[in-house]
Chains A and B, each alone.
Chain A
Amino acid sequence: MSEPNIYLPHLMRIAKITQEAPGVRTFRLEFVDDAAAQGFSFHTGQFGLYSAFGDGESTFCIASSPTRKGYIECTFREVGRVTAGLADKEVGDIVGFRGPYGNVFPIEDWKGKNLVFIAGGIALPPLRSVIWNCLDLRDWFKDITIVYGARAVADLVYKDELKEWEQRPDVNLVCTVDPGGETPEWKGRVGFVPPVVEALAPSPENSVALVCGPPIMIKLTLPVLAKLGFTPESIYTTLENRMKCGLGKCGRCNTGKSYVCKDGPVYTLAQLNQLPAEY
């Protein structure tokens, strides 16, 4: 009878709000309860259920790195009731958080390898967690390449961090916007992510590739990586299926025998190839 209520969120205080792009915000969240803060840890790749009390819960990744202690961050686009409720919040307001849930990016397995990050639009947040995690452990890895694309310049998220990565000598950052999305000041590339990756042609030798983006971007980028010689075992992505519980019960993220909330959200392409294409 003393089992805890697994649906009960932690209360988190909004410590900082960053307006990333039109309709896109990042919240920095700190635990209201010190004991909860002490007992909390997570690994990169994991996600949570974020509450706007009054509106409900939504699923987002933890967009910050576990190497940055004392807070978590989430980045979301305002699209529905919950995200509108969250968007109404101000610094100091309270939101809820359940998690961390799901599996992790196995970064320890990547020691000594080259890392290629490929992200599109609002899907940079899950990779941003891994990118900072890896940059904070920079000597574990060889070359780090980041390809990031968005529809338009305004839609690029984490603009300050993009500048920082651009200036770092130990990061190769390539930013691109879809044709028509450029501004007169735009100095990055113009083009869709898949051909940009193809032109960049990162070496598959001793490399892993992480791909997060809208389904169409993933669908068109995977064949490019295959052509470049990346094996299905060396390509990672996250599935972003709709979820309600995050606990392997409510059923909606179920894809084949896999619960994305439990067995995912991180999958290699080799693992995805074993699942029905219902994602």
Chain B
Amino acid sequence: MADMYQLSSASLDLLFAALTADGRRILAPTDRDGRSELNPVNTPADVAKDYVQTALSAKETVFPKVEQLLSYSLSPGQVDLVDAKPKAEPTVVFGIRPCEASAFKALDAVFNWDYRDTFFNARLEQLAVIGMSCTRKDDACFCTSVGGGPGSAKGSDILLTPTASGYLAEVLTDKGRAIQALAPELFQPADSADKAAQLADLPAAFDQPALSAKLPAMFDSPLWSEQALRCVGCGACAFVCPTCVCFDIQEEADKSGGRRLRAWDSCGYHMFTLHASGHNPRDTQGARWRQRIYHKFSYYPERYATLGCVGCGKCTRACPVDMNLKEHLVEASQVKP
């Protein structure tokens, strides 16, 4: 059970100062050009005031868009290989939504289920999450349909919930307690803890366990290609997704040497599964859309006992052709077995 405290708005300034003094970088949603994105901040005044979600996700803090895996120099008959050490700095990600905070678990499942990914782990180890409960929602949100909620503490080290006078603060993990210990006087006992009254009201839109249970029998349904008819295969959904982990490995090199990089990729791309022979196991956009749904709602639960979706709705907001994940899942839920 988490310890519940209250934190005044003024205390937040001091908490940021304490984190900075401890040598930690603070990333928080900031407003730029009409949208919110995670950026380094110094004070709470820098933090966006009025956001439902950042457009991009917080996965970049542990899984950068592009990351060097190794480098080498080349000379005739010789290769000098240089291991890449992940550059991880102590980081606090502040103000991300509970949905996003819960997404790190899905990433961790893939990066460590068998072989352990040192790049991801080095960053995760250095990362602490101060989540911010949602007092607002929008039409794309569906966290309550996938096991989350506007005040869900899953994945946060400290979860703040805005109140009239400041914040309720739940200190949830050792990392959270370490932050609290930097300025314990700021964390005052909560005199009332009516957290639920502050939260956005978001009824569940569909029955996820029932949907996941019937997906195996729906593989050949025409629904998937119908839903994907307007998909342009741009991959934006995967890029903004806090749980999408699929990546490419590419080489950047010249005659004298080079480096090997991994970069975000998307199962929505034709090239993703294309064989050298020209054969493509998922040769239609409908098959690729189905893979996206099944990976998140069928294969993840079977393989990792966790969902590959947190209901943040970022994909829906980013989609240039208005494919709405929540509506598509509701539609799939209504298909008669």
Contacts and interface: CB of A to CB of B under 8 A. Distances in A.
A250 B265 contact: yes
Interface in B284-328: 287, 291, 294-295, 298-299, 302-303
A244 B69 CA distance: 13
A57 to B, nearest CB: 6
Contact of B74 (A4, A53, A58, A92): A53
A250 B303 CA distance: 15
Interface stretch (A6-14, A134-142, A152-160, A168-176): A6-14
A245 B267 CA distance: 15
Interface stretch (B77-85, B145-153, B170-178): B77-85
B201 to A, nearest CB: 35
Interface in B157-214: none
A79 interface: yes
B251 A55 contact: yes
Interface string B223-256: 0000000000000000000000111111101110
Given A250-B247, A251-B247, A254-B299, A79 B70 contact: no
Contacts of B287: 278
B78 A94 contact: yes
Contacts of A7: 69-70, 249, 260, 262
B79 A3 contact: no
Contact of A3 (B110, B118, B277): B118
Say whether chain A's binding surface is mostly helix, strand, loop, or mixed.
loop
A245 B251 CA distance: 13
Contact of A56 (B81, B245, B260, B274): B260
A246 to B, nearest CB: 9
A9 to B, nearest CB: 7
Nearest to B118: A3
Contacts of B20: none
Given A53-B253, A80-B276, A244-B247, A251 B79 contact: no
Contacts of A77: 276
A134 B251 CA distance: 38
A255 interface: yes
Contact of B291 (A6, A8, A92, A254): A254
Please classify how large the interface on chain A is, using the bins under 10, 10 to 19, 20 to 34, 35 or more: 35 or more
B253 A54 contact: yes
A257 B78 contact: no
A4 to B, nearest CB: 7
B117 A11 contact: no
Please classify how large the interface on chain B is, using the bins under 10, 10 to 19, 20 to 34, 35 or more: 35 or more
A241 interface: yes
Interface string B21-58: 00000000000000000000000000000000000000
Interface string B261-287: 010010100001111110101100001
Nearest to A79: B276
A255 to B, nearest CB: 7
Given A8-B83, A245-B249, A250-B247, A279 B115 contact: no
B91 to A, nearest CB: 16
Given A53-B258, A244-B249, A5 B111 contact: no
B282 A278 contact: yes
Contacts of A241: 273, 275, 281
Interface in A254-279: 254-257, 262, 276, 278-279
* Residue among A79, A215, A250 having the largest count of chain B Cβ atoms under 10 Å: A250
Contacts of A198: none
Contact of B84 (A5, A55, A80, A240): A5
B254 to A, nearest CB: 8
B77 A242 contact: no
* Residue among A242, A250, A251 having the largest count of chain B Cβ atoms under 10 Å: A251
A68 interface: no
Given A252-B272, A257-B302, A276-B219, A92 B117 contact: no
Interface string A221-254: 0000000000000000000111011011111101
B245 A251 contact: yes
* Residue among A96, A242, A279 having the largest count of chain B Cβ atoms under 10 Å: A242
A8 to B, nearest CB: 6
A192 B298 CA distance: 39
A215 B280 CA distance: 10
Interface in A17-66: 53-58
Contacts of A179: none
Given A53-B79, A94-B77, A250-B247, A8 B275 contact: no
Contact of B273 (A56, A92, A252): A252
21 contacts: A4-B118, A7-B70, A7-B249, A7-B262, A54-B251, A54-B258, A58-B276, A79-B277, A241-B273, A244-B247, A244-B249, A245-B247, A247-B115, A248-B110, A249-B117, A250-B265, A251-B245, A251-B267, A252-B265, A254-B267, A256-B294
Interface of B: 69-70, 72, 74, 77-79, 81, 83-84, 110-111, 113-119, 121-122, 125, 219, 245-251, 253-255, 258, 260, 262, 265, 267, 272-277, 279, 281-282, 287, 291, 294-295, 298-299, 302-303
Given A244-B248, A256-B299, A278-B287, 15 more contacts: A1-B122, A1-B125, A8-B69, A8-B70, A53-B72, A54-B251, A54-B255, A56-B249, A56-B251, A80-B276, A92-B77, A94-B78, A214-B279, A245-B249, A251-B267
